[in-house]
Structure 1
């Protein structure tokens, strides 16, 4: 048994070696010729297209871009990644638009955007770089045009290779569309109200109250005061949009079933603070038609408050009413 201690030691070494955890495949350090490729994370999403909103209250907004290393492991060296404008991608997209009988994208306006850096580093042993900020200024873009720019990985260091199909990112600004604002975000006041139109003083039945004009229901209505005495024209309805928005259209709905006391001409004004006002519509006219939303396009205006001033009626009456006031915002 003189070999027993030696055998035991040998078995211990074998067990230690066989039981020691192996380095996971994705933790292995890879050199430039070991199969890893550098790509843009955003290029793997939505076909590499990022949509930018220009309907924002902020002076500037940003999207982030980052470079990553893809492979069965991590890079063993720092990788410097450089970016440049991808004019080939821009031209390709515009050629496609022309074939589809669409106008080509407009270039971004001068001084409307910037990259905070044109190169980043993927650290050795890590998968991704820090983010590059693409900063743009929404107010320098027209809401009637569509814009495109593109960036791509132009160079990587250390002999590492680029995954070309996912190395470019398109940043597109599409024309915003007009959408009705959710009534839950709206509140309204008026020059006067008629509580007698409600069955319960406005607890659940809003008829007669200003709030009925922005509740999203055509079956309810606001009514100007007629008891104990009538308030004469002009009448006004003031709507708080709940936040600063870009308004481009107004919808009006007459009270269902009522043929009298409908206002005919009206003005609409907009304000950011409820104090200084600009005209959106002047001496506009509402048709004497039932159960149809009548819409009026306006100049795109940034505001939080809208004021509807009703200036005359179809009939010889002093009071008036409205089922729904529907503001549309650009989104």
Structure 2
């Protein structure tokens, strides 16, 4: 009897020893089926508005996104997350814009995008879903307008999303801006050499306090005058910006804008444009958007009877 008891004790000790040798699974590695301590997040929704690239307007671009799981441990079951358009989210954004005096975003043009699948799955025991890919065609968008697409994530098994992390806002728009003038050079019809500010480089130096000036002595050349700008390469131009000599209203009035795609052949971009005589800020003039290497200003007349003219700055706006 004593031997039997000793055997039982030995077996129990052995089992206890085996049990104590087995490592406990940390809480953060356990599978978890509660919804109270778990949440989902679409990373690109949490990161704010996502800018899509429209320019240059190639046939096709892509962007990928997925869903993350957060909480104690890992999900004990697969979590399927579906994505659908959310017109209410777009309406909400546009209400804010309209209150701020801004134009509302347009919905993406029909047929301009597709998504490779409507849902993504976070597998049990993992924290990230597979990727979804949106494919969009920049050529379907009007670059003069701004568009937005809202994609909302959802699931049918009760998981909540972190605040601000369920709807991706895709913005498709280009921002027109003045091109950098690095390497730009200028040639002009004539120069008033008596002043250091009269040189042609003054119109591309980014400084409105300097200016190009034609001669104004008795033998000075009369209109027309001209100024030619070399962009030192090809840039995409949508507008030409001109800034007149500051605090002076005796410059040129009417002018034409010419452009060159190859640096040699000139085409007319805009005719009989008129400067605002008393406007010191940059004045912009529309042209057909296109790639250009050079522009030329043909200056036709003056606001008064002067034969001379002057100009502070030339800019090219575009993408």
Instruction: Give the TM-score, by structure 2 length.
Output: 0.70
> Residues 108-136 of structure 1: CA distance to partner in whole angstroms, max 9, x if unpaired?
11222222433333344432234433333
- Partners of 1:235 and 1:147 in 2: CA distance: 40
> Residues 139-171 of structure 1: CA distance to partner in whole angstroms, max 9, x if unpaired?
433355443322122446xx5724275322222
State the number of aligned residues: 300
List gaps (5 residues or longer) in structure 1. 1-5, 200-206
Instruction: Give the TM-score, by structure 1 length.
Output: 0.68
* Structure 1 pair 279–134 and aligned structure 2 pair: CA distance change class (3 A): farther
Q: How large is the RMSD of aligned CA atoms in angstroms?
A: 4.5
1:214 aligned to which of 195, 204, 213: 204
2:254 is aligned to 265
> Could you tell me how far 1:282 is from its partner in structure 2?
1.0
| Pairing 1:150-229 to 2, within 5 Å after superposition | 150-155=150-155, 159=157, 161-163=159-161, 165=163, 166-173=165-172, 178-183=176-181, 185=182, 187-191=184-188, 194=191, 196=193, 207-223=197-213
Query: Is residue 191–residue 237 contact of structure 1 (8 Å, CA) maintained in 2?
Result: yes
> Residues 19-53 of structure 1: CA distance to partner in whole angstroms, max 9, x if unpaired?
x7x6554433334667433331122233xx43446
> Could you tell me how far 1:210 is from its partner in structure 2?
3.4
Which protein is bigger by CA-based radius of gyration?
2
> Could you tell me how far 1:68 is from its partner in structure 2?
0.9
Query: Is residue 52–residue 172 contact of structure 1 (8 Å, CA) maintained in 2?
Result: yes
List gaps (5 residues or longer) in structure 2. 1-9
2:238 is aligned to 247
Query: Is residue 244–residue 310 contact of structure 2 (8 Å, CA) maintained in 1?
Result: no
1:28 is aligned to 30
- Partners of 1:316 and 1:281 in 2: CA distance: 24
| Pairing 1:274-293 to 2, within 5 Å after superposition | 274=263, 279-287=268-276, 289=278, 292-293=280-281
- Partners of 2:86 and 2:277 in 1: CA distance: 56
> Could you tell me how far 1:67 is from its partner in structure 2?
0.9
1:202 is aligned to none
* Structure 1 pair 224–138 and aligned structure 2 pair: CA distance change class (3 A): farther
* Structure 1 pair 213–68 and aligned structure 2 pair: CA distance change class (3 A): same
